[in-house]
Structure 1
Amino acid sequence: MRRLPLLLLPLALAACNGGTGTPVTIDVKSDDGDNGSFRMENGTVSIKGDGFQGNFRVPQIKMKADDVDLDGVKLYPKSEIAGFHITGGDKPGNGKDGGKDGSKGGGKDDGKVRIDFTSPASLAAVQNWFRDGFTKKGFTFASRGDGFAGTTSDGGTFTLDLSADGGQKVKGRMEMTGS
């Protein structure tokens, strides 16, 4: 975990493609006290971790609808990503190689990805887009308010909150956790 902040820097630099940026955050916390964070917004990258802290200026990144999918289901075409957030946890026994307690793993992954977006369509059109995509990919899901909640084909869980934001605009928030 002590190398995590340095490992995140190439991710930021590889993703740069100019234009107006999409805010990106990554937070990692571990039970043994090794924590790290990565923030990219308005062309500034901030990295903090045990033994390392720095701020860097980089070209801004702009994530597009095609850059995001939930186990094969893409966002509605021409959606704009308003924010991309990853949180993760590292607990002994969670990984395939086990923790420092010598266990062989088997614990549940605490990681979560949240994507905030807007879609240029009516609420019904966006709902139908996701409903069709989830059905084609074999997800188990149910309606939840104006959105959905369920399980992906690989066992991860998700929620998708949608709300109308004017006639032809929808705000959405997708949250996914690992299996």
Structure 2
Amino acid sequence: MRYLPLLLLPLALAACGGEGTSISINAHSDDDDNAVFAMNNGAVSVKSDGFEGSFKVPNIKMTAENFDMDGVKLYPNSTITSFNVDATDHAGKQKDEGKVTAAFSSPADLAKVQGWFRDKLTAKGFKFNEKGNGFAGTTDDGESFTIDLSADGAAKTSGKMVIVGN
């Protein structure tokens, strides 16, 4: 199955102990070659054409170092609380579709995290606008993105980044 490397990617990020990142990957194709991978606190389930199973692995904890959007990383020392990929492979000349959603927690106040993203997006030359407490725009690859941010106490920010490519 052509998506097997994609399904195994999160296992390469494995780190033992602590609370893990909730991960889900859904891959579909027009020729019914489909796969679903889900992981939550070390419980893994995989379902694809011809294979279905579940097993336990050490928790995976994704951090700012494990994720970037065309070179723009998350605020330093951020932790990713959930990571979801939805991909569709279309037959012929029709463009494939993909969507990545990452929810994260950053160890700084909202204004500092907003400034971090504003500076990084500007430095990479992305076209973007402020949207609420976050940003919306396109990467240099033409993928659309949104970054939603909200204060989570005095020195913490919760966020969600959505990247859509087609």
Specify if TM > 0.5.
yes
Give the residue type in structure 1 aligned to 2:82. G
Q: Tell me, yes or no, if the aligned pair for 1:45 and 1:56 is still in contact at 8 Å.
A: yes
TM-score normalised by length of structure 1: 0.85
TM-score normalised by length of structure 2: 0.91
Give the residue type in structure 1 aligned to 2:123. K
- Percent of paired sites with the same residue: 54
1:132, distance to aligned residue in structure 2 (A) = 0.2
Identify the structure with the greater strand proportion: 2
Give the residue type in structure 2 aligned to 1:11. L
Q: Tell me, yes or no, if the aligned pair for 2:106 and 2:157 is still in contact at 8 Å.
A: yes
Counterpart position of 2:41:
42
Counterpart position of 1:24:
23
Give the residue type in structure 1 aligned to 2:53. G
Gaps of 5+ in 1: 94-104
Counterpart position of 1:175:
162
The 2-side partners of 1:69 and 1:137 are apart by 12
Counterpart position of 1:82:
81
1:121, distance to aligned residue in structure 2 (A) = 1.2
How many residue pairs get aligned? The number is 165
The 1-side partners of 2:5 and 2:73 are apart by 27
Note the alpha carbon deviations across 1:22-76, whole angstroms, 9 max, x for none.
1111001222323210011111210001221000111111111111111111111
Counterpart position of 1:126:
113
1:168, distance to aligned residue in structure 2 (A) = 1.3
SS in 1 for 2:129: strand
Q: Tell me, yes or no, if the aligned pair for 2:107 and 2:156 is still in contact at 8 Å.
A: yes
1:141 and 2:128 aligned: yes
- CA pair 5-139 structure 1, distance change in 2 beyond 3 A: closer
- CA pair 5-55 structure 1, distance change in 2 beyond 3 A: farther
Q: CA RMSD in A?
A: 1.7
Q: Tell me, yes or no, if the aligned pair for 2:64 and 2:78 is still in contact at 8 Å.
A: yes
1:113 and 2:100 aligned: yes
The 2-side partners of 1:7 and 1:68 are apart by 17
Note the alpha carbon deviations across 1:76-111, whole angstroms, 9 max, x for none.
111111011100011112xxxxxxxxxxx2x33311
Q: Tell me, yes or no, if the aligned pair for 2:11 and 2:60 is still in contact at 8 Å.
A: no
Give the residue type in structure 1 aligned to 2:160. R
- CA pair 52-5 structure 1, distance change in 2 beyond 3 A: farther
